[in-house]
Structures are given as C-alpha cells and as structure tokens.
Amino acid sequence: MTDRAAAVGFKPQEFLLALGGALILDRYEDPLPTRVFLDVLRSLGVSDDATRSVLTRLTERGLLTRHQGGRVASYGLTQRSRRLLQEGRERVRAPEPFHQLSDDWTLLSFSLPETRRDIRNRLRSRLTWARFGCLRDGLWVAPGRVDLDSIISVGAEVEGLQIDGFVASPAPGTDVARFVRRAWDLDALRWEHEEFLRRWERSLPRDRDPLALFTLLGAHWIRLLRLDPVLPERHLGEDWPGRRSAVVYRTAFAALEAPALDAFADLVRDARAKR
C-alpha cells in the first residue's frame, strides 16, 4: 500500500492538524511558506488546490494567519490554534489514552434553535472530541468527569443556546451497558482500532517518505482518539484492542519522529531559501 492510497479517506484539514501539533507547534514561530504545506500534502495525494482551499478556510476561522511577502504567501498559527493544539497534544501523548479510571458519568443537555445549524455542527464536533455520545437529541453522555468549561463557553457566545451539564453516578439497577450501546456503536469503534492496527502494526517501510508517513500516522491517531470515548473496560470485552493501539502508536511514533523532523526542517529551509 502506498502512502497515497493509505491516505484515502482523510481530509486535508486532518493532515494539517497533525502537522501543526507534531511538527510546527513550539518549533516554528514564524509563518511557513505555502510551499511547505503543498509539498507535504501532495505526497499524501492531496491536490494543491485542495490544500490552498483548506488553508484559506482555516484562516477565515481564525486558526491560521496569512502573510504576503512579494509573490509568496505564508501561514502561521494563531493564539487560538496554539491553545487548541496544546490541549490536543495532552491526549495525543497520553501513556494510556484509552484507560478509564472513573466510575462517574458526565451528562450534558443543550437546546438550540434549528436555524443555527452552523453552531449545532460546531458544538457536536466539540462534544465528540470531549468523548460524548448522544443518548437522544439534545442529551449527551461521556464516561468520567469531563471539564465542561470549553463546551459551556460556547453558550455564552450564541444567543438562544442553553447548555447544562452535571456529573452523576448510575443509580442501582441502571443498565449501564444498554445506554452505552445506545450512545456508541461499539462494533464500528472496534473496527476503527483494528484498521489502525492493520496499517501500523506491521514493520514500517524503509523506502517511503518518513515525513508523509509521520503525518499520516498523526492524522490516523487523532481520528482514533476523536472516535474513542474511553469507556470503562467492563463494557468493552476482554479482547478490546485499545491498549494494543496505544502500544503500536508509540512504537511507530518513536521510529518516525526523528527522520520526519529532519525532513520537515529541510523542506522549510529550502522553501524559505527560494522565496
């Protein structure tokens, strides 16, 4: 399987998120020439037009800054994107990202006018990253104690949006496994882990671009972290692949990080020299 074929199904934004967190954040303060992003994503089968389009969208959303120097455009991280990437890095590098210690559950409800679908989609995306599953329309549940500040803060930004959240323990007799199956598709989640293992558990090819592989690994890992709510293991079965996925990710990351950093530094140096 080529890197290009393996990348099918990933969006350009997912690759840029992986690049930002692993290779740009805390390493490059100045904006990077557009060519850097074009070259990396081109190696993963993304067209230059698609890359330019997503760079523009992220700039419009306040996640990137755009700078023009002559004929060369450059893009840099904003304070907002740096904060989001820092928060995401904690989960990306967690030693046991799929191990749930708490017996509590966090419940959250919200009501929003149907006309505000843009805000609804934004809120749903944030809830999914925070490990919530939908029990029914407007009622979400997540395992453990979730910090709701970043979610509830959305309510202060949008007129008509009401968000309420609280932490609780199941009452005696509650069929927790039933609402777990209602809120999450465990078969689909298992498949996502197994797909990650199929791609990364085997020996890494020595003749492929380490920067492309490292970016693809990061995008795949972030997707898995976004999809897995970190449920208590007693609801998952003894052969749940979460721990294997974490070991495989750490092994692949350790093998690819140094050559990817070197390749990215060469790419940035070359792009800046040709401005």
Q: What is the reported pLDDT for 206?
A: 74
Q: Are 141 and 107 in contact (CB under 8 A)?
A: yes
Query: What distance lies between CA 106 and its chain's CA centroid?
Result: 21
pLDDT < 70: residue spans in the chain: 1-8, 113-116, 150, 152-160, 275
Quote the CA–CA distance of 42 and 50 in Å, as a whole number. Answer: 10
CATH number attached to the domain at 105-168:
3.30.70.2360
Distances in Å between the alpha carbon of 88 and those of 151, 196, 226? 15, 19, 10
Q: Are 186 and 241 in contact (CB under 8 A)?
A: no
Q: Are 150 and 126 in contact (CB under 8 A)?
A: yes
Distances in Å between the alpha carbon of 163 and those of 124, 126, 142, 151, 168? 12, 13, 15, 8, 17
Q: What is the reported pLDDT for 66?
A: 95
| Helix/strand number for the chain, H first, E second | 11, 7
The amino acid at 234: R
End-to-end CA distance of the chain: 35
Q: What is the reported pLDDT for 203?
A: 79
Q: Are 185 and 217 in contact (CB under 8 A)?
A: no
CATH 3.30.70.2360 in the chain: give the residue spans. 105-168
Q: Are 232 and 100 in contact (CB under 8 A)?
A: yes
Quote the CA–CA distance of 193 and 185 in Å, as a whole number. Answer: 13
**Residue 121 CB-density burial (10 A; 0-12 exposed, 13-18 middle, 19+ buried):** exposed
Helices 210-227, 242-273: inter-axial angle, 10-degree rounding: 140
Element (H, E) at 136: strand 133-136
- Residue 108: count of CB within 10 angstroms of its CB: 21
Q: What is the reported pLDDT for 1?
A: 42
Residues in the chain: 275
Q: What is the reported pLDDT for 160?
A: 62
Q: What is the reported pLDDT for 159?
A: 62
Q: What is the reported pLDDT for 43?
A: 93
